[in-house]
Amino acid sequence: MTTRLCAQDEVHEGQAIECPDPRDPEGASLIVLRSGGRVHAFLNICPHAGRPLNWAPGRFLYSLGQLVCAAHGASFRPEDGYCIGGPCRGESLKAVAIREVDGAVCLWRARPSPNTRRARARQSLRAQARTVQIFLRLIHATFADLPLHRVYSPLTTHYSPLFKTPN
Ligand code: FES
């Protein structure tokens, strides 16, 4: 499962570009850069103060081969987003999985394995069962004091001759 971010040839060695994050409806962006011939992508959120790293739309600072945050100067290794200097030294940019497919850089979302899908289905069934259980307990708690014919009368008087509302 892939979503196109940009063309491969838009990302030059030692440079970063900004791409909108297709997963974020609020317009967050991604940093896409090329280092050592490989393309990498990170969330455009600095671990120091949560600000974007660019100094202008689509414009990033590079110094001595490191990506530099324009806000307070933290330096990040482009190959893994690790901060080697500045106020968030030792922290990292959040990497985003990408693939290069047919001349494009694409966001990569791994397809869940069959086991994961089965586990999710089981989880969903358990959640539904819990909801039904809570609903039944609520009904029981609400109507526990009422005589049976009053609780079921709207249905049973119509569908079953066994339960008749007393006159
Ligand atoms: S927000 Fe990036 S260094 Fe402060």
Residue 117 to residue 108: CA distance in whole angstroms: 18
Cα–Cα distance for residue pair 108/95, rounded to 1 Å: 12
Average pLDDT over the chain, rounded to an integer: 85
pLDDT at residue 38, as a whole number: 93
Q: Is 51 in the pocket of ligand 1 (CB under 6 A)?
A: yes
Quote the CA–CA distance of 101 and 109 in Å, as a whole number: 13
What pLDDT, on a 0 to 100 scale, did the predictor assign at position 55? 94
From the CA of 50, give the closest atom in ligand 1: 1
Residue 155 pLDDT grade (very low, low, confident, very high; cuts 50, 70, 90): low
Which of 18-27, 34-43, 103-112 is predicted most confidently? 34-43
CA of 20 relative to ligand 1 center, distance in Å: 20
What's the order of all strands across the beta sheet hosting 104-108?
A: 2-7, 104-108, 98-101
Task: Domain ranges for the chain, please list them.
Answer: 2-108, 114-159
Tens-place pLDDT, residues 83-136: 999 999 999 999 999 999 999 999 988 666 667 777 888 888 999 999 998 888
Q: Each residue of 50-60: pLDDT tens digit?
A: 999 999 999 99
For the Cβ of 46 lying below 6 angstroms from any atom of ligand 1, the answer is yes
Distance (angstroms) between ligand 1 centre and the Cα of 163 equals: 73
pLDDT confidence tier of residue 150, bands split at 50, 70 and 90: low
Please state the CATH superfamily assignment of the domain spanning residues 2-108 in this structure. Answer: Rieske [2Fe-2S] iron-sulphur domain (2.102.10.10)
The reply to whether ligand 1 has any atom less than 6 angstroms from the CB of 148 is: no
- How distant, in Å, are the alpha carbons of 70, 111, 151 from that of 32? 16, 22, 63
Nearest CA to ligand 1 atom 3: 72
Whole-prediction pTM: 0.67
Nearest CA to ligand 1 atom 1: 49
pLDDT mean over 27-39: 93
Q: Determine if ligand 1 sits within 6 Å of the CB of residue 72.
A: yes
